[in-house]
Structures are given as C-alpha cells and as structure tokens.
A = this chain, B = another copy of it.
C-alpha cells in the first residue's frame, strides 16, 4: 500500500495521484505567475508551488482536479512543502476518483443508519421518539455525508454520523454506570445536537458556511427545526422545550455559542459526551502521526497544546 502524504519526511521522493484541494494564482518576485496548490490524499495535505504557470495550467490544476505528480518533500519556513518535478492531470485511464482521496468514516453509511435506528427504536417516550425520527428522516441523506466540523474534529466524509454513533455508544455505557439518566432524552439530544450543520454548511466536501450558517448558526437552526417538527407532528408538552434546550445548551457556555447553560442533567451529560468524543478524535489523529518519544504539532482546538506520546507506549500500551 502506498504511503500517505502525512507520513513523508523532508528529502523523500513523492510519486502518485493526488486531489487538488485548492489552487491560488500568485506573482513571483521575478514578476511571473505561479500556482500555489494544496494537494491531498486520505491521510493529509501538503502545499506545492507550480512556477511559471500558464493560463492553461490554471484550468488544468484547479480545485477538485486529480493530478499525477512526482516531487521531493521539502520544508519552507517550518512547514512541509512539496517541490514538484513533474505534474500532469489524471485521465480516465488512470482509474482514480475523488472519493479515493477523501478521508471517510471507518463505518459504512448502512452500519451507521442501522445503529442509530436501533437507538431510536429503543426509546419509550413517544414524543421524543417521533420528533427524533421525523428530523433524522428529513435530513438523513445530508446527515450521512456531512463532516462533523469544517476543521478540528471528525472533519471527514460521514464524520457527523460517525461522531453521533460514537456518542450513542458512549451514552449507553455511561447510563449503565449511572442509571438515573433518561436515555430517551440523552439519545435524542445526541442524534439532533449537530444536525443543524447540514444547513449551516454548504456540503459534505470542502464545506463553507451558508448565509443561514453565518447569521443564525447550527444551534439556532436546529432549535427552530424542532419547534417546526413538533407543530407539524402536533406534539405539545415539555419534551419539545426540553429537547430544544438540549440542543441550545450543548456548547455549555454563552461564549462557546450556547445562550443558555445546561439546566437539565441530560443536557450537561450531552455536552460532556460531545466534548469527550471530539477530544478523543483530535488526540488520536494527532498522536497517530508521531512516534513514541515525540511531541505532536500544536493542536489549536486542544488549547494549542503539543501532546506527548510516551516512550513506554512502544512497549506496553496498545497504541
């Protein structure tokens, strides 16, 4: 199997197919145009400069193009940079497609749908169950394809659904240790908490923010959707307000985007499980790229920390 982009060292030769993630034209200090390409595979991405680029090059190597290239991995101002030796667009004969270059969840969409459906099936409170099922069905296609975030954690195809499945499994373990929890409410909150992202973000790949996303945000969007769903399903009762509260408060603090703090036990737990799973995902992805005895890069979403992988993890620990 080919080595992924994330694992090359300075000086190594790179040879293979890559997806152009972005392509920006600039002018060199000698006055000539060049392209700054971000090239990606399933493991990561790297910058490369295409010097003396022609107008045709701009078209051939635009974002979403697949290219075949060879080059040498270098370092520019402390960041990896690929020095191109040869580059050409991929052709149909090459037999490569965009999804080959996108990271994706470790479970299939079918597996994830089945798991989530089972959790909904187990719910005993019909009001909570119906609202959850209604909204999941309404946005199921997008839900199964979107990333959980544009960066930081679970930022891959189907990342949102995978994040929800992990959280549901964690909630089940958790409620076995702390039986006072209302699992109906907690499962529903988990399934709905980030569903507004399918409206906040523009799409499953290379997502940007929509106007609704910028002006309202996924939390407000989903709180509204729950209200509309309840009206459509003719459900009244505290469950509606409480579910809206779970979504509204799941960022926990005003300065993190939740105008109300969690005031329901399951709302607090939802916030903590969300945080736990996101942090595990970020830590694992960062630590996967270093060897025992090394520190990771600074992780912005982990308060800019560099994590250390202990030397003895080479020996005793599973990872």
Q: Which residues of A contact B (CB under 8 A)?
A: 25-31, 49, 51, 74-77, 81, 83, 124-125, 127, 166, 169-170, 173-174, 176-182, 184-185, 211-212, 214-217, 219-220, 223-224, 227-228, 231, 237-239, 241-242, 244-245, 248, 254-265, 268-269, 272, 275-276, 279-280, 283-284, 287, 295, 302-303, 305-308, 310-313, 315-319
Return the contact of A26 from the options B28, B75, B214, B302 (Cβ within 8 A).
B75
Q: State A77–B278 Cα separation when bound (angstroms).
A: 32
What are the 7 closest A-B residue pairs judged by CB atoms, nearest first?
A182-B317, A173-B173, A215-B245, A180-B319, A125-B316, A254-B254, A224-B227
Return 6 A-B CB contacts under 8 Å, by A number. A27-B81, A31-B51, A180-B319, A211-B308, A223-B224, A257-B259
Q: State A280–B275 Cα separation when bound (angstroms).
A: 16
| Residues on the B chain within 8 Å of A178, using CB | 280, 284
B177 and A166 contact, CB distance less than 8 A: yes
B265 and A272 contact, CB distance less than 8 A: no
A211 and B241 contact, CB distance less than 8 A: yes
| Residues on the B chain within 8 Å of A127, using CB | 312
Would A310 and B224 be within 8 Å (CB), given that A124-B316, A169-B177, A259-B259 are in contact?
Answer: no
Q: State A214–B241 Cα separation when bound (angstroms).
A: 10
Task: For residue A175, give the distance in angstroms from its CB to the closest CB of chain B.
Answer: 9
Return the contact of A211 from the options B185, B238, B265 (Cβ within 8 A).
B238
Q: State A242–B308 Cα separation when bound (angstroms).
A: 10
B211 and A303 contact, CB distance less than 8 A: no
Return the contact of A308 from the options B174, B254, B263 (Cβ within 8 A).
B263
By CB atoms of chain B within 10 A, which of A174, A176, A280 has the most?
A280
B31 and A30 contact, CB distance less than 8 A: no
A-B contacts besides A170-B174, A215-B241, 9 pairs, CB < 8 Å: A28-B29, A31-B51, A174-B276, A182-B319, A212-B241, A215-B244, A263-B306, A269-B280, A272-B275
B216 and A303 contact, CB distance less than 8 A: no
Task: For residue A209, give the distance in angstroms from its CB to the closest CB of chain B.
Answer: 10
Q: State A215–B306 Cα separation when bound (angstroms).
A: 11
Q: State A26–B29 Cα separation when bound (angstroms).
A: 12
Return the contact of A228 from the options B177, B231, B245 (Cβ within 8 A).
B231
A29 and B27 contact, CB distance less than 8 A: no
B27 and A30 contact, CB distance less than 8 A: no
Would A317 and B76 be within 8 Å (CB), given that A81-B27, A312-B125 are in contact?
Answer: no
B31 and A264 contact, CB distance less than 8 A: no
Q: State A5–B116 Cα separation when bound (angstroms).
A: 44
Return the contact of A227 from the options B170, B184, B227 (Cβ within 8 A).
B227
B263 and A305 contact, CB distance less than 8 A: yes
Would A76 and B26 be within 8 Å (CB), given that A228-B231, A257-B259, A305-B261 are in contact?
Answer: yes
